[in-house]
Amino acid sequence: MRYRTLGSTGLKVSEVGFGAWAIGGNAHGNSYGPTEDEASIAAIEKAVELGCNFFDTADVYGHGHSEELLGKALKDQREDMILATKVGGDFYHGEPRMNFNPDYVEFAVEKSLERLGTDYVDLLQMHNPPLQLIQNPKLYLPFEKLKKHGKILHYGLSIHNPQEGLAAMKHGRPESIQVVFNLMRQEAKEKLFESATERSVGIIAREPLANGFLSGKYNEDSVFPTGDIRHNFPHEYVRQLIRTSDQLKFLESKQRTLSQASLRFVLDHKEISTVIPGAKVPAQSTQNMKASNLPSLTGEELLRIKFMREQAS
């Protein structure tokens, strides 16, 4: 495993982290299908064994279950691990809703600390705040307070649209930005990467396998159970993702899977501090972590990817 520095935080993070969305399970939907807790814990332990020290979760994943599993699996190694969680999805008061009120943020962080079995979080991230809120300097005040009191060491945002990251750096002082970046979605590198690097803001690449479609294991007949977020994807969108994935299978070889090539593509961007693919079983952790030591994609492969994107646009 190789390690990189997360922006100006000084944190040395494994360049392949562990995305803990999926291990939250399917009890409350908004996940990636059913899980087994024993397998989830074994997946976490396998990642640690292979050098992973960065674990990214959110309080809303399984309504706290993902955090609980991480707390259980990592309790004896807490000081060696970097825990990142998110806040903003209020599932405590009826149907989940967005909530960034200062009192709620402080309440939710205390709950996360309990589940994680720790008295501080290395990185707290605002979970998909809307642009209008990002542009309000008051959004950042409770995070500064939590940092001052030692409840969190650093804070940042998890976003979809790169413009939200640019706005956050203009109106606040985030230390990291987690953004969608993968072979299918590369808009983050147009302006966000350069701007973040100039400000020493760490970039965390989320959804590097495009919601699992870059694993190459799905086809147009694949069915996703109720509760799996992909169950609600429009059929034509799913077909498009699968067609693109099939076109990218030229990246597979005896040395790497399509998933590993996809992770390697992300890591070949020096602006990225860490990439956070999900894993529900140890074999997936092994595959993900080994991407760190694979060779970079070749110039010919990158040109072919670029050509494909140009043809599709």
How many of the other CB atoms lie within 10 Å of CB of 163? 14
Residue 13 and residue 273 in contact, taking contact as beta carbons nearer than 8 Å? yes
Domain span including residue 307: 3-312
pLDDT in tens, 182-208: 999 999 999 999 999 999 999 999 999
Express each pLDDT in 223-249 by its tens digit: 898 889 999 899 899 999 999 999 999
Distance in angstroms (rounded) separating the CA atoms of residues 66 and 58: 7
Are 287 and 297 in contact, with CB atoms under 8 Å apart?
no
Residue 47 sits in a domain of what CATH number? 3.20.20.100
Dihedral sign for Cα atoms in the order 239, 240, 243, 249: negative
- Position 60 scores a pLDDT of 96
Q: Whole-model pTM?
A: 0.96
Q: Given this model, what pLDDT does residue 71 score?
A: 98
Q: Name the one residue in this structure whose structure tokens are 């976490």.
A: 44
Q: Give the residues across from 154 on adjacent strands.
A: 123
DSSP collapsed to 3 states, the chain: CCEEECCCCCCEEECECEECCHHHCCCCCCECCCCCHHHHHHHHHHHHHCCCCEEECCCCHHHHHHHHHHHHHHHHHHHHCEEEEEECEECCCCCCEECCCHHHHHHHHHHHHHHHCCCCEEEEEEECCCHHHHCCHHHHHHHHHHHHCCCEEEEEEEECCHHHHHHHHHHCCCCEEEEECCCCCCHHHCCHHHHHHHCCCEEEEECCCCCCHHHCCCCCCCCCCCCEHHHHCCHHHHHHHHHHHHHHHHHCCCCCCHHHHHHHHHHCCCCEEEECCECCCHHHHHHHHHHHHCCCCCHHHHHHHHHHHHHHC
Phi, psi of 13 (to 5 degrees): -105, 145
pLDDT tens per residue across all 313 residues of the chain: 999 999 999 999 999 999 999 999 998 888 998 899 999 999 999 999 999 999 999 999 999 999 999 999 999 999 999 999 999 999 999 888 999 999 999 999 999 999 999 999 999 999 999 999 999 999 999 999 999 999 999 999 999 999 999 999 999 999 999 999 999 999 999 999 999 999 999 999 999 999 999 998 898 888 898 889 999 899 899 999 999 999 999 999 999 999 999 999 999 999 999 999 999 999 999 999 999 999 999 999 999 999 888 887 7
Q: Are 67 and 75 in contact (CB under 8 A)?
A: no
Number of domains present in the structure of the chain:
1
